[in-house]
Amino acid sequence: MEKLHYNTMPSPIGKITLVASEDALCALYVKDEEKPKMVGAVKNEDNKVIQKTIKQLNEYFAGKRKTFDLPLSPEGTEFQNRAWNALCEIPYGQVWSYGKQAQYLKAPNAQRAVGGANGKNPIPVIIPCHRVIGSSGKLTGFAGGMEMKIFLLKLEGHEVDTHGLKLSKQLSFESL
C-alpha cells in the first residue's frame, strides 16, 4: 500500500485537508467531514503534490486560475471514475445538468447514478462537481453543502438568486 501524506490550508470555504501520494492528489476534504483517506496518512508539509495543490487552490480562490494542472488519483468504481473524468470537461464558469453529464457518458438515463457518483467525488473543487445543477437551473444537493456550492459558482461568475437556489444569469450549457 502506497504511503499517503496530508497537509491543511485555510481557504474561503473553510479549512481544506489535502491527501496525496508522492505522485498524485487522492482526496480533498473541507472542514470537518469524514476523512477516510486520512487513515494512516502522515502529515507532510514538503510533499510536492500537496505544495502544488495549495498553490493552485490559492490562485483559484484569488480568481487567477481557471483550470487545475495536477496529477489526480481518485479511487472509485469504473462508473464513478468516468463520471469524475466528465466533470473535468466542464469549463470554468459553465455548468452542466445531470442529464447532460449522463449524455456525455453515453448513459442518457443515468442522471441519478451520475448524481450519486458526483456526491462521492473525493476531490471536490478540483474535480468540479459544483458545476452540475438540475435541468431547470435549480441548484441541487452538494456534498460540501449548498453554501459552498453557491460560493464556488459565484466565484466562477454566476449570479445566484436571493434564495440561492437558481442561477439567475443565462445558463451556459446547451440542451439541458
CATH number at residue 149: 1.10.10.10
In a domain, 113, yes or no: yes
Do residue 87 and residue 51 come from a single domain? no
In a domain, 176, yes or no: no
Domain extent, residue 134, equals 78-165
Active site residue 88: no
Of the residues 129, 150, 153, 160, which is catalytic?
A: 129
Last residue of a domain, one of 17, 38, 62: 62
In a domain, 41, yes or no: yes
Predicted local confidence at residue 136, as pLDDT = 80
CATH number at residue 41: 3.30.160
Do residue 100 and residue 55 come from a single domain? no
Do residue 86 and residue 57 come from a single domain? no
Do residue 82 and residue 58 come from a single domain? no
What's the number of domains the chain is made of? 2
Predicted local confidence at residue 162, as pLDDT = 66
Q: How many CB atoms lie within 10 A of CB 140?
A: 16
Do residue 112 and residue 52 come from a single domain? no
Question: Are the C-beta atoms of 167 and 90 separated by less than 8 Å?
Answer: no
In a domain, 111, yes or no: yes
Tens place of pLDDT per residue across the chain (176 aa): 579 999 999 999 999 999 999 999 999 999 877 777 888 899 999 999 999 999 999 999 999 999 999 999 999 999 999 999 999 999 999 999 999 999 999 998 999 999 999 999 999 999 999 999 988 888 887 878 888 999 999 999 998 876 666 776 555 554 44
Cell numbers for 43, please give them. 502529515
Do residue 124 and residue 159 come from a single domain? yes
Predicted local confidence at residue 138, as pLDDT = 82
CA distance 107 to 140: 20
In a domain, 50, yes or no: yes
Predicted local confidence at residue 134, as pLDDT = 87
Q: What is the dihedral of CA 96, 97, 101, 107, to 10 degrees?
A: -160
Q: Which of 59, 140, 56 is nearest to 95 (CA)?
A: 140
Do residue 41 and residue 90 come from a single domain? no
- Our CA angle for 86, 78, 151, nearest 5°, is 40
Do residue 47 and residue 91 come from a single domain? no
Do residue 58 and residue 92 come from a single domain? no
